[in-house]
Amino acid sequence: MDPKNILEKAIIFIENNLYEPISPRNVANEVSYSYYHFHRYFHVMMGETISEYIRFRRLTEAAKSLLYTEKRILDIAVSLHFKSHEAFTRAFKNRYGVTPKQYRNNRIDTLIGNTMQLDANELLHRSSKITLTPEIIIVPSKTIMGIRFETSIANNQSIKQWDILSKQVTKMKNTSANSNRYSFFEANNNCEIELFNEDSLTTEFIGIEFDNTSIASNKMLIKEFSGGKYAKFVHTGTVNTLYMTYRYIWGTWFANSNKQLDMRDDFECYTERFLGTKSDKSQIDIYFPIV
């Protein structure tokens, strides 16, 4: 059996048994692998262990139940095999930053911490299209010339605004067509872990790096980016698959790593490796600010 099919079979088994007392050994047995070898393979391909994946999928299901059912918190915890109300509360708060009761009262289906069910396409994407372990780097300060607008994940305005920016750039003198493009998602209170969701409004600033050799356009704004410590991921694929990379970063990497998200701008950088929105070989560098 193809290794990718083995991984898909394991995920299906886990999904079908989230409410059953399964263990990582049960998963390995289901795909006819030794526990030792499959544990290592799963970790390399998924960026998390089998135990972590099961626990975090259960917590995501618990979060949904808190928002969309009237089940008692204790009943939710027991149904998903947490040993006690206290153990469930502790695990939930570590994942989402608030207690189960607070999460229910907030009535917000947050994105950071949620490990969503993966289909075959997302499994393939995670195993071959994302740098699961980011490079930790210090990004230098930059001066960016561009435009600012309000957007959200649910009502994304980026494509429309990039068209506007591109028309402005082509009219400018002494600006290289090969200049890196940047998309900054500017930090605000809506980006906090317990509030961030698909409807969270933020301002996005898109533009090109500006230096002394460029002639500024009076139709564009200037952004002074201060730089700092960042985790750099590389997305490979079309723009339409970018959400899969962000799902991994928000739902898996941040929750599993020992890195703390800093309240500064996160951003994307489009270099010469970006071959167009529809190219499966395009690469986009994604930077998240960390403490």
Domain for residue 128, yes or no? no
User: CB neighbours of 16 closer than 8 A, spacing ≥ 6?
Assistant: none
Q: Are 126 and 244 in contact (CB under 8 A)?
A: yes
Domain for residue 155, yes or no? yes
Structure tokens at 282: 């395009």
**Domain check: are 239 and 156 in the same one?**
yes
**Domain check: are 274 and 206 in the same one?**
yes
pLDDT for res 17: 97
**Domain check: are 85 and 170 in the same one?**
no
Region 72-76: what's the mean pLDDT?
A: 97
pLDDT for res 288: 96
Tell me the pLDDT tens digit for each residue of 75-104.
999 999 999 999 999 999 999 989 999 999
Range of the domain at 234: 135-289
Q: For the chain, list the strands marked E by DSSP.
A: 135-139, 142-151, 181-186, 202-209, 221-225, 228-236, 266-270, 283-289
**Domain check: are 155 and 282 in the same one?**
yes
pLDDT band at 173 (very low <50, low <70, confident <90, very high): low
**Domain check: are 28 and 150 in the same one?**
no
Structure tokens at 146: 């561009």
Tell me the pLDDT tens digit for each residue of 125-149.
998 999 999 999 999 999 999 999 9
**Domain check: are 101 and 170 in the same one?**
no
pLDDT for res 178: 57
Domain for residue 119, yes or no? no
pLDDT for res 174: 56
Angle between helices 120-128 and 3-16 (to 10 degrees): 130
d(CA 82, CA 65): 15
CATH code where residue 9 lies: 1.10.10.60
Terminal Cα-to-Cα distance of the chain (whole angstroms): 43
pLDDT band at 214 (very low <50, low <70, confident <90, very high): low
**Domain check: are 100 and 185 in the same one?**
no
Helix or strand or coil: residue 132? coil
- Does 65 or 258 have the greater pLDDT score? 65
Q: Does 185 have pLDDT greater than 60?
A: yes
Domain for residue 117, yes or no? no
Number of domains in the chain: 2
Q: Which amino acid is at 174?
A: N
Distance of CA 96 to the CA centre of its chain: 15
Domain for residue 259, yes or no? yes
d(CA 115, CA 9): 18
Region 22-51: what's the mean pLDDT?
A: 94
d(CA 190, CA 9): 38
Structure tokens at 258: 């020992």
**Domain check: are 96 and 12 in the same one?**
yes
pTM assigned to the model = 0.90
Region 149-164: what's the mean pLDDT?
A: 92
**Domain check: are 211 and 73 in the same one?**
no
Average pLDDT over all residues of the chain: 91
Closest CA to 207 of 191, 230, 223: 223
pLDDT for res 193: 80
CATH code where residue 160 lies: 3.20.80.10
**Domain check: are 164 and 265 in the same one?**
yes
